[in-house]
Chains A and B, each alone.
Chain A
Amino acid sequence: MNAVTLQNISKTYDKGKVLAVDDISFEVKEGELFGLIGPDGAGKTSIFRILTTLLLADKGEASVAGFDVIKDYQSIRNNVGYMPGKFSLYQDLTVVENLSFFATVFGTTIEANYELIKDIYDQIKPFSNRRAGKLSGGMKQKLALCCALIHKPLVLLLDEPTTGVDVVSRKEFWEMLKTLKKKGITILVSTPYMDEANLCERIALLQKGKIMSVDTPENIIKAFPYMLYGAKSDHIYKLLNDLRTAKQVESCYAFGEFLHVTLKEKQDDGKEILRVIAEQNGHSNIWIEEIKPGIEDSFILLSAEQD
């Protein structure tokens, strides 16, 4: 059974002027850790709000935990845990006050479901009497997750939980999600960080309200049709321009410490071709290797195809 389904969901704003979600369909299986990957404005938040019954879609059908988002909206509200994009707790209440408030609002108590949040809550317990507003980004995030879990939801919906949070906290957060997944909770999480895609079981790549691909991260990378080369030299910006103007090169992007390059035609000696171009343009310390593409390479390629 699917924990979340969307069928041909569309959503517009400003009386139809802005198309935020464009005919989207996908399913999240029960117990799955599913990622919505896309930049700001891709439609991630709109999808979450439709699933949490906060917004009505213009078209299409959707269900969460078997409940229809329109007919059974009250049941959905009882059975999902939701973390909105912004840190949404009461800054002037303490950690414990926030938690017990949300527990009561969801008709339960901290004690009743302590088992589920214990691992996470233990990490912020030393600060349980601190006001939420005085917590660090990482700790706020943990508290928000505890609050979203306190009523033992069937499905956890997390809208950009790691945005603006540093690498250490992000790593810890993903560890927590893995643990929750083991406990059988279905998790739908969104992120603008492409590198986090690999931490999900399946992902949907989202751009401008459209789904470009739904699959496992491995399959999406496998589907990358080109041989990808990494290139660098002492003058990386010059190299970027030189490679871009070379007629054999299909695309060239700066990508972290080196450039990611694809060629127009599949060549066995692609490395050599690129080296020659670089040498002809007077580069020194040239390094060129075949590299494995990442989700981001696929994303860029797919969004180029979309346009």
Chain B
Amino acid sequence: MTFFTSWPVERADQQINMKQLLAFTKKEFYQVIRDKRTLLIMFGLPIVQIILFGFALTSEVKNVHLIISDNSKDVNTLQIINKIKASPYFSVDESVMGYADIEEAFKKGTVKSALIFPSDFGKDLVHSGKAQVQIIADGSDPNTAKTIVNYLTAIINDYQAQLSPAAGLTYKIIPETRMLYNEEGNGSLNFIPGVMALILMIVCTALTSVSVVKEKELGTMEILLVSPFKPFMVLISKAIPYLVLSIANFTVIILLSVYALDVEIKGSILLLFMESALFIITCLSLGLLISNVTASQQTALLISMMGLQIPTLIFTGFMFPLENMPWIFQAISKIIPAHWYYLIVKSVMLKGLGFEGVWKETLILIGMTTVLLSVALKNFKIRLS
């Protein structure tokens, strides 16, 4: 080797690695910005999705866990409670909780609805022919909440009608409904966390996997592998631009929610961003994992769309109430990262909970990310298979 003796053989050092990373990131940004279709998917999708899901979704509920706080304990309340117990929609839990306890139970998410009879319910009904009853439902899941309220109201009205002809008088029971966390019954509140999970999933997972596989298809991966660039750096530098873009995208969704749909963010925005960044990294890892095992853009897209999109739609719980599903589906929902992210966003954004309210979910997401990322990095092939 006379010609190149002056040339050092090993030249990949720390400094060069940083430079390479920058160059790669820059290149990736150019490519995304020049690819009009990707941009459209990225930033058009949130708008379309939000409009689409803006339409209320009706859903049936069954065996809803209902807390009844009977402060009157008279013949009328007993009859109403028996009627509710007889219906297939509710599993009744009679308790002596006060209002504060009930709210606490709601916050914990163990309870979705409650029925409260005031202490003078029977007396009022008999004497003045008019009584009040309070129905409380978890408004952050407005579809379920509305259905619950409708069912309860129907049962009470039914009882009221039964009562009236027998006594020859008109009785009137006035249900007073309250939606906790979503007082106006604003439907968009609920699907926004869902759409956020969905969109981050699409953008991060699908676009990342496609962009890696594109390099394989194009043959550029061959050149990159035959370069001093460390293989896993390819993955890292692929992930960075999409992380940045996804956070931009996330900001767009938040702005859309706040200004177009009048959603109030109750919790800390910083926490929301941090949690979302975590979820984005989860999705990126998943995307990289997919790109490792697929050879064509179509396959990568199909896997991320069919294999992730649909489970995300079904198992996060924002379209279909999870509590109505068979246990196996409920179990599946537990391994879907989007499910946990959805819970976190709901808690932070709609319930205004702080980190202490979501630390468990966060920990689960961190665990999932660690597993996914290490599997992705481990499986990244330094050669063509």
A binding-site residues for B, Cβ under 8 Å: 1, 30-31, 49, 52-56, 65-66, 73-80, 82, 84-93, 97, 100-102, 104-108, 131, 147-148, 152, 154, 183-185
Contacts and interface: CB of A to CB of B under 8 A. Distances in A.
Contacts of B27: 90, 93, 97, 101
Contacts of B7: 152
A89 B27 CA distance: 12
A73 B10 CA distance: 12
Contacts of B4: 152, 154
Contacts of B34: 92, 131
Contacts of A148: 223
Contacts of B12: 78, 107
B3 A184 contact: yes
9 contacts: A52-B225, A54-B383, A54-B384, A55-B384, A77-B225, A88-B218, A92-B30, A93-B30, A154-B4
A92 B32 CA distance: 9
**Interface secondary structure of A, over-half rule:** loop
B34 to A, nearest CB: 5
B126 interface: no
Contacts of A31: 3
B226 A54 contact: yes
B30 A56 contact: no
A88 B223 contact: yes
Interface of B: 1-4, 7, 9-12, 16, 19-20, 22-24, 26-27, 30-31, 34-35, 218-220, 222-229, 382-384
Given A55-B383, A93-B31, A101 B23 contact: yes
B223 A82 contact: yes
Given A56-B383, A87-B219, A97-B30, 11 more contacts: A52-B222, A55-B384, A75-B9, A75-B10, A77-B225, A84-B223, A101-B27, A104-B19, A105-B24, A183-B3, A184-B3
B220 A88 contact: yes
Nearest to A81: B226
A72 to B, nearest CB: 9
A80 B35 CA distance: 32
A152 B10 CA distance: 13
A53 B382 CA distance: 9
Q: Which 10 A-B pairs have the closest CB atoms?
A: A88-B219, A104-B23, A184-B3, A86-B219, A107-B16, A84-B222, A78-B228, A82-B226, A52-B226, A54-B384
Given A77-B225, A107-B20, A184-B3, A53 B383 contact: yes
Contact of A107 (B1, B11, B24, B223): B11
A105 B31 contact: no
A188 to B, nearest CB: 14
A242 to B, nearest CB: 48
B223 A92 contact: no
Contacts, number: 111
B11 A105 contact: no
A105 B227 contact: yes
Contacts of B2: 30, 184
Given A54-B383, A56-B383, A78-B11, A105 B224 contact: yes
Contacts of B23: 100-101, 104-105
Contact of B228 (A1, A53, A107, A154): A107
A101 B227 CA distance: 12
A89 B220 contact: yes
Contact of A30 (B1, B31, B219, B223): B1
A185 B34 CA distance: 37
Given A78-B10, A154-B1, A84 B219 contact: yes
B226 A80 contact: yes
Nearest to B222: A84
Contacts of A56: 383
Contacts of B227: 77-78, 102, 105-106
A185 B222 CA distance: 21
Contacts of B218: 86, 88, 90-91
Given A55-B384, A90-B31, A92-B31, A65 B1 contact: yes
A74 B228 contact: yes
A56 B382 CA distance: 11
A31 B223 CA distance: 23
A175 to B, nearest CB: 21
Q: Could you say which of B2, B3, B23, B226 has the most chain A C-beta atoms within 10 Å of its C-beta?
A: B226
Contacts of B1: 1, 30, 65-66, 154
A268 to B, nearest CB: 52
Nearest to B31: A92
Given A101-B27, A105-B229, A54 B224 contact: no
B9 A88 contact: no
A28 B34 CA distance: 43
Given A65-B1, A90-B220, A54 B225 contact: yes
A176 to B, nearest CB: 18
A76 B225 CA distance: 11
Nearest to B381: A54
Contacts of A85: 219
Contacts of A131: 34
A86 B214 CA distance: 13
A78 B16 CA distance: 13
